[in-house]
Structure formats: structure tokens, C-alpha cells
Chains A and B, each alone.
Chain A
Amino acid sequence: MADRVRTHPGTRKPTLHLGHGKRHCVKVLERLSAYLDDELSGDVCREIRAHLGDCPNCEVFLDSLRQTDQLCRNRPSPALSKNDRASLRRQILKAAATT
């Protein structure tokens, strides 16, 4: 989806203009990962925060995206057992020697 961003004459950084209503919610949704990852300019962040303060649904949506991200980051992954580590090593050495 194309970014819908307007640039004001005399300003270098593009600024989102977010009011309320579904159209504005979609604009916010487009940028929530960048917002969570702190990749947006101060002006854009302020506009998004203003929209979030005015729109409980978007606030809840942002929380759910943040929680999703935290679950992914903290999902433990099983470790390779010592036996599997040794067995895999043998298989790799054998395959390397025969090809």
C-alpha cells in the first residue's frame, strides 16, 4: 500500500495528517511496526500518538501488535542434544567426503 504522506512547503520531513475515522486508522496501521521500532521522525510519532490517544481501537491494536512481537522475540527454541550434534557432524563429514 502506498504511503499517504504529505510534505509541507518549507519543511523537509513528510508529516502524516491524522484525524479520526477509519481512513486515518488505516494510515496508522500502515506504520505501526515502524512506530514500534522507533524508525519514524518525531513529527510523525507525535501525530500517531495523538491519533492513538483519540482512538481506543488503534491503541488496543498497537498493544496487541507489541505483545505479538514480544511473544515472537521470547519464544524459546529447543536445543540440539549432544547425541544429535555428534550424529549430525558425522553425517556432514561423510557426505563431504563422498561428494
Chain B
Amino acid sequence: MALRKKSRPDLHDGHAVSRSTSTSFDQLYRDHVDVMYRFAYRLCGETEAAKDLVQETFLSAYRAYDRFRGDAQISTWLYAIASHACQRMRRKRKGEPERELSLTEFVPTSGGEFSLQVPMEGLSPQEALENKELRQILDRAIAKLPRKYRMVLVLRDMEGLSAKEVGGILGLNERAIKSRLHRARLFVRRELSGKGLAGEFHSDVTTGHR
């Protein structure tokens, strides 16, 4: 949905600021809150932080609505606001230090590092993900990614946006997006391999107990 009105959306419940547009805040919220919450949860990895991010995103969207040019999809615009809000919130919390991922660190050095050490044999990805422990291992791997790589992995592989769209959201060219995406995938892959799970994974995982 591309909104082309330049005035702010109405705020209902007695908090109306402008009624010059037919597009209401309620509509914006109703149409996009579920997608934004899913995105926020994937970025934050837990419920309360995801709710904070959704709140910050829609508040920022309301305040910045005058500047929305209407030449992008509104969902892309909201993704960009949420991405920037996430970066602001992490800076405030003095989150994990960012580090660069080098391709050379992902070159396997022993046999157990080439394949995944999680139960997927003969299962579709959906069936494999019914295993709670596998979901936890995957979530932990994604959460361990340095933020700028996690952002690209979530937007591109989990939210299904194109490299061009992700580039527009993060202010990077497609080449940089693809480079970060490749490193992010290699990082998560390593976490699910013998190297990432060495001495850590539970016997239930390999036997497929749920």
C-alpha cells in the first residue's frame, strides 16, 4: 500500500492532531503492526524488547509522517524506521560491541564442521523446526550475530525482502548487503555445525526428541 498523503494520520481516542487525511493512524497500525512485531521479534529475540521496538516504530512513524514521500511502499518505510529505532535503542543500552566478520574465519578446519549437527535428515525445514531445541539453537545463533549482520539476515532471508530493498532500508548498496548476508549465513551455519555446537548440544537434539 503506498500512502501518498503528506499530512499526519489521525490519532483517534481524543488525541486527534490532524484530520486532513483519510488515512488514519488506526489503519496504518492495523495493516502493519503484525508484520512489524514479527520483524521486531526476529531482531530482538524476545517479547518485551520487541514490543518496545514496535511502540517506538509507530511513534516515530507518526511523527515522521509529514516527511513520508509516498514513493516507497509504506511497509518498506516502516522497516526502515524500525531498523533505525533498533539501532538507537541498542546504543542506549550499550549493547554488544560490533565486530566485523571475516570470510576466513568460516573455513572449516575439521571434519565435523562441514555439516550441520542438528536433526534434519529426511525432514522438511518446517518439520525440523517443530523440534523446540533446534529452534532454540537457531535463535541463539541468530542472536549471537553482530547486529549489522543480523539486520541483513532478518530482512533478506526471514522477511523476504530483495537485496535492493534491504539496501534502501539500511542505506547501503546491494554489494554490501550481499556481502553481509553471506557472512551472516556462514556464521549461523557454523553455529549449527560441529564447531558451533561442540560440547553444547543436548542428546535429545540428535535423537530428534521433541
Instruction: Please indicate the chain B residues that have their CB under 8 angstroms from the CB of A75 in the complex.
Output: 42, 129, 135, 138-139, 158
Partner of A70, one of B51, B125, B181, B186: B125
B115 and A96: CB pair below 8 A?
Answer: no
Instruction: Please indicate the chain A residues that have their CB under 8 angstroms from the CB of B114 in the complex.
Output: 57, 60-61, 64
A64 and B33: CB pair below 8 A?
Answer: no
B116 and A67: CB pair below 8 A?
Answer: yes
CA distance A75 to B130 in the complex (A): 10
Q: How far is the CB of A82 from chain B (nearest CB, A)?
A: 11
Secondary structure at chain A's binding surface: helix, strand, loop or mixed? helix
CB-based nearest B residue for A30: B103
Tell which of B55-63, B77-85, B164-172, B199-207 binds the partner.
B55-63
B129 and A68: CB pair below 8 A?
Answer: no
A34 and B157: CB pair below 8 A?
Answer: no
With A33-B182, A77-B41 as contacts: A92 and B188 at CB distance below 8 Å:
no
Instruction: Please indicate the chain B residues that have their CB under 8 angstroms from the CB of A30 in the complex.
Output: 103, 182
Interface size class of B (residues with CB under 8 A): 35 or more
CA distance A59 to B42 in the complex (A): 30
A65 and B186: CB pair below 8 A?
Answer: yes
CA distance A71 to B140 in the complex (A): 13
Instruction: Please indicate the chain A residues that have their CB under 8 angstroms from the CB of B17 in the complex.
Output: 96-97
A71 and B58: CB pair below 8 A?
Answer: no
0/1 string, B107-132, CB within 8 A of A gives 1: 11000001110001000011011000
Is there a chain A Cβ closer than 8 Å to B15's Cβ? Answer: yes
CA distance A1 to B100 in the complex (A): 12
0/1 string, B149-163, CB within 8 A of A gives 1: 000010001101000
Q: How far is the CB of A32 from chain B (nearest CB, A)?
A: 7
Secondary structure at chain B's binding surface: helix, strand, loop or mixed? helix
Is there a chain B Cβ closer than 8 Å to A63's Cβ? Answer: yes
0/1 string, B170-206, CB within 8 A of A gives 1: 0000000010011001101100110000000000000
CA distance A29 to B178 in the complex (A): 14
Partner of B58, one of A34, A70, A92: A92
Is there a chain B Cβ closer than 8 Å to A43's Cβ? Answer: no
CB-based nearest A residue for B33: A85
CB-based nearest B residue for A39: B178
Enumerate A76-99 residues with CB–CB distance to B below 8 Å. 76-80, 84-85, 88-97, 99
12 A–B contacts from the bound complex (CB under 8 Å) = A26-B103, A26-B107, A30-B182, A37-B178, A64-B189, A71-B125, A77-B38, A77-B158, A84-B51, A85-B34, A92-B55, A96-B17
| B positions within 8 Å CB-CB of A | 11-13, 15, 17, 25-26, 29, 33-34, 37-38, 41-42, 47, 51, 54-55, 58-59, 62-63, 102-104, 106-108, 114-116, 120, 125-126, 128-129, 134-135, 138-139, 142, 153, 157-158, 160, 178, 181-182, 185-186, 188-189, 192-193
